[in-house]
Structure 1
Amino acid sequence: MILEVAVLPVITGKNAEFEAAFRQASSIISSMKGYISHELQTCIEDSNKYLLFVQWETLDDHTVGFRGSAEYQEWRKLLHHFYDPFPVVEHYSLTQSYGAK
């Protein structure tokens, strides 16, 4: 499993529109091969900044399968115009895991 992490800087005043579009876009990403789960978090200190976490079975499921798909073009139409600047997207693999007490 890999974790996609994206910092999403949303244009000031567009939060409600972005969140509505993201709810719609969630059905797109969740239908893709290799998708496991995703979550969107809002920054407490800067409400225009979000973190997107997506778990994929493999890196190729995201970078080749999703990004190379027609569904990704719809994702782009729904979301990319909200970002300034464009998000940084990185991928991580688990090194160690610790349980909560």
Structure 2
Amino acid sequence: MLTLTSGAVQVIRTVTANPELPPDTGIRIESGLDGSDALRLSVAPAPEAGDQIVEEQGAKVYLEAAVAELLDDKTLDAQVDSQGDVAFTIAEGPGGIPT
């Protein structure tokens, strides 16, 4: 199952903390458009049917079924740069090399 770093947990909780959002709001990762190898990440009000749910310390990540299989042994990390932009990265295993 996908694991989350403490940085990813903190960023996801911050992004989804808006009191106007539904309580099940999380980050959803799905496959790219038109068969692309790229993954799409978005804020989602709830999981979609068939999504795998990863929850850690209040941070929710919803994974499309095919993406859940692809990221099964990976780690999600997130960092915020000096301009406040968020960058998510996926690494091999816990603390692995970014992919």
Q: What TM-score do you get using the length of structure 2 for normalisation?
A: 0.30
Task: Give the structure, 1 or 2, with the largest relative contact order (CA under 8 Å, sep 6 or more).
Answer: 1
Of Structure 1 and Structure 2, which has the larger fraction of its residues in strand?
Answer: 2
**Higher Cα radius of gyration:** 1
